[in-house]
Structure 1
Amino acid sequence: MSGIAGEMMEPARAVNPSAGTHPITLAVRQVSGAEWDAIIGDFDEVCQEQMHAFAATRWPGVAQEPLIFQRGSTVVGGALVMIQPLPLGVGNMAVVKWAPMLASVSVPDAEALRAAMVGSLAKDYAEKRGMMLSVLLHASASETHQGYVALRQRGFRRGSTLLFPSRYMVRLRLSDEELRKSFHQTWRRQLNKAEKSGLEFSRVEPEGIEAFKELYAAMTERKQFPDHSAYETLDALMALDEPLRPELFFVRHEGETVAGALVFKAGKRTVYLYGATNDKALPLRAGYFLHWHVIRWLRDHTRADWYDLGGTDGFQGLHQFKSGMVGTAGAIRPVPPVLNYATSPWAGFIGTAAFTARDIVQHTRRHIDGLRSSKARPDQEPYVWDESFK
């Protein structure tokens, strides 16, 4: 794979379980970053980490290889593969985060198509190019993660696990009455109080991002918490066209903006990206009011089935807030472990060693940050809803 945009790769094949031994044959085409972003906007499984605009800003030193898979003339999926240089120049590793993505999750052989895409990636990056291929899949709303099972059967080995893997997902396709009934009692009670506080909700045009930045900066200064999010990608995301550009929402009280949220809305799974509040938001319960109206807006203005709230970084207060919103209709599911595939023993060894070293550094940093955070604000709640940055 040479990295030349538009080059045709060797066809991918996989067995379709629903059709006996009939193989699925896919054509693979590498495209430019701009073309990639234009194509994936209509995918059911699109996500911000798989966008060229995001990845180029978040990981500027990593080469990107955006791959489109076609069955005949129909695009069925894709994967943005990142070529990660390993320390000391000992080699490279191919990393695929939240992919391969399906263009449609409703086709009868969707998981067989995913298996065909994975097979193509494994053959090219591991078997031909001698790298370790590392795949991190999304949390699945289903109890059984079919994609994870398929990769394990394909020969992928279990690798690193996120420190706090649970993801909190709100079901969107419910009426207002069904939504409120699904919330946990305490969450619903706080929402009722918020609705009596004179708050106003609005969707804001992209130009409002500067006001959000001011709110965010003031909050980070006030809370004094370490920010490990991808906040530096914000300008690149807001410069995108529909449908990949995030939506911006504000809650105001007596004309003052007290809370804001940025939400990724493309595809079948919307994602809460960033939130910010001022010091008046907590007593007004603005977080409850904001998310209630965001859920309703997403239901009415997108084709998504789920609103992914992200994780908690282990903070109990954030778990209580998000689990109360997920309620009885939603799902709390773990992000599966990283899955690694290598045919070269050396590639498997150095790739695994690199992941182990990274995990040690990240876990140590999280522990130190937690100690600093608790000393910096001993009189405050350990964590509140508006700090849930991915």
Structure 2
Amino acid sequence: MADMTAKMMTNNLADPVTVDPFELVMISPQQWDQKAHLFDNICQEQMNVFAAERWPQMNIDCLHFKLGDQLVAGCLMMHRSAPLGLGGLAVCKWGPVILDAAAENAELIHDQVIEMLVQKYAVSSRMMLSILPRPRPAESNFAAEQLLARNFKPGSGLPYPNRYFVNVHVDDDEMRASFGQKWRSHLKKSEKNGLEFEHCDMSRLPVFYELYRAMTDRKQFPDYSAFDSLHHLMDNIEDSARPELFLVHHEGEPVAGGIIFTAGDTAVYLYGATNDQALPLRAGYFMHWEIMRWLARQDRIKWYDLGGTDGFLGLHQFKNGMVGKAGVVSTVPKVMNYAHWMLPRLLGNGLFLVRDVKAQVMRWIKSRKSAGPNA
């Protein structure tokens, strides 16, 4: 109750033009995950249970920023020091997170948190500070602009940076009218196929896993996701932030499924799966429509983040039609890097260069394998 009261008071914490200095409090990973759902722009990348499994070589700091006894922001930082005092690397993915993203001074709060991270990691700990701002359903990304203003340098970006956001903060009729014409047509046809939609508990996860394995075996596409860590996430995440599972059935058999992160004000499409029957039944259209209707009934959720496309044209057409007139196609910002000292800058840039070259080589190898022996 105290945390929720603090959230309601965020708009009154300070004059909207300024904010008072914050107190930085380091908490345990368990405490962080327990309170993560309080932040409006929390996402899976800022959950310790997700980050610790996916990046086991990194140390993790869980930071709360308070004004008096009121929590206003937070950040999960991953870091690793180089030997011989040569510096190190501190990474923030899709953070910091703000308790009340709609507060008048939310952007100023975010900017002050960035300044405190710079002092803690780049100046005092002599690390390169690397921040990947969260993509946002807007033409400009204020977080990326703040980092540029603080002399962060743009680093590497995604080869296909488009991000697709559906506006679910509207009623069903308005949302449906927003879809592209072809998308609406496919949806109408799917609704005549006797499909059934199910919002499931976690006991149905094995059904989803089977659908996903069947899909990857069938399509033989390169999978760049963190699917291998999903089992750990679902088994260990706090109930307050646990992703939701949805399935679509036809004649009693599961044909499609989706796992959606719903803890903040923007739901994120984490994983989807279909079997051979799903395409002719247009089950994907039906499933996403019903998921959007479910999200629209959640008071806190305003946007449905569909993720990217990895360059697949068909996926772009599908997601773009779903975004429609009321949604937004934005871009994932580039990684933004700052080093106060020379050695951390050289070390950090070298590490990122090696990582980027390795990623390009792995993508090339996987694309050749998926193209077959005659490619």
TM-score range, shorter chain: over 0.9
* Deviation for aligned residue 1:176: 1.3
SS in 1 for 2:20: strand
Q: Any residues of structure 2 matched to 1:39-188 within 5 Å, and which?
A: 39-84=35-80, 91-188=87-184
Q: Deviations over 1:295-345 (max 9, x none)?
A: 000111351110000000011110000000001100000011111111111
- Contact (CA 8 Å) 2:77, 2:90: kept in 1 or not? yes
Residue 263 (str. 1) matches residue 260 (str. 2): yes
How far apart are the structure 2 equivalents of 1:211 and 1:221?
16
Q: Any residues of structure 2 matched to 1:353-372 within 5 Å, and which?
A: 353-372=350-369
- Contact (CA 8 Å) 2:88, 2:347: kept in 1 or not? no
What amino acid sits opposite 2:211 in the alignment? L
**Structure 1 residues 355 and 89: CA distance shift in structure 2, 3 A:** farther
Q: Which residue, 231, 246, 251 being the options, matches 2:248?
A: 251
Q: Which residue, 275, 279, 282 being the options, matches 1:278?
A: 275
- Contact (CA 8 Å) 1:17, 1:112: kept in 2 or not? no
Unaligned regions of 5+ residues in structure 2, if any? Answer: 1-13
SS in 1 for 2:309: coil
**Structure 1 residues 192 and 81: CA distance shift in structure 2, 3 A:** same
Q: Which residue, 294, 301, 321 being the options, matches 2:298?
A: 301
Q: Deviations over 1:244-283 (max 9, x none)?
A: 1010000000000000000001111100001111100001
Unaligned regions of 5+ residues in structure 1, if any? Answer: 1-15, 379-390
- Contact (CA 8 Å) 2:164, 2:329: kept in 1 or not? yes
* Deviation for aligned residue 1:142: 1.8
Residue 237 (str. 1) matches residue 233 (str. 2): yes
* Deviation for aligned residue 1:88: 11
* Deviation for aligned residue 1:23: 5.3
- Contact (CA 8 Å) 1:216, 1:275: kept in 2 or not? yes
Q: Which residue, 187, 190, 205 being the options, matches 2:186?
A: 190
How far apart are the structure 2 equivalents of 1:176 and 1:334?
26
How far apart are the structure 1 equivalents of 2:150 and 2:15?
14
TM superposition score normalised by structure 2:
0.92
Q: Which residue, 23, 26, 29 being the options, matches 1:27?
A: 23
What amino acid sits opposite 1:343 in the alignment? H
What amino acid sits opposite 2:290 in the alignment? H
Report the equivalent of 1:292: 289
Report the equivalent of 2:320: 323
SS in 1 for 2:101: coil
**Structure 1 residues 89 and 166: CA distance shift in structure 2, 3 A:** farther
Report the equivalent of 2:208: 212
SS in 2 for 1:138: coil
How far apart are the structure 2 equivalents of 1:194 and 1:290?
9
What amino acid sits opposite 1:210 in the alignment? P
Report the equivalent of 2:217: 221
- Contact (CA 8 Å) 1:223, 1:377: kept in 2 or not? no
- Contact (CA 8 Å) 2:165, 2:303: kept in 1 or not? yes
SS in 1 for 2:263: coil
How many residues matched? Answer: 361
* Deviation for aligned residue 1:58: 0.8
Report the equivalent of 1:13: none
**Structure 1 residues 28 and 376: CA distance shift in structure 2, 3 A:** farther
TM superposition score normalised by structure 1:
0.89
How far apart are the structure 1 equivalents of 2:251 and 2:82?
53
SS in 2 for 1:341: strand
Report the equivalent of 1:385: none
Q: Deviations over 1:15-38 (max 9, x none)?
A: x9953xx55210001111000001
Q: Deviations over 1:367-386 (max 9, x none)?
A: 222222122799xxxxxxxx
Q: Which residue, 333, 350, 353 being the options, matches 2:330?
A: 333
How far apart are the structure 2 equivalents of 1:258 and 1:50?
31
Q: What RMSD in Å do the two structures reach over aligned CA positions?
A: 1.9
* Deviation for aligned residue 1:111: 0.6
Identity %: 45
* Deviation for aligned residue 1:364: 2.2
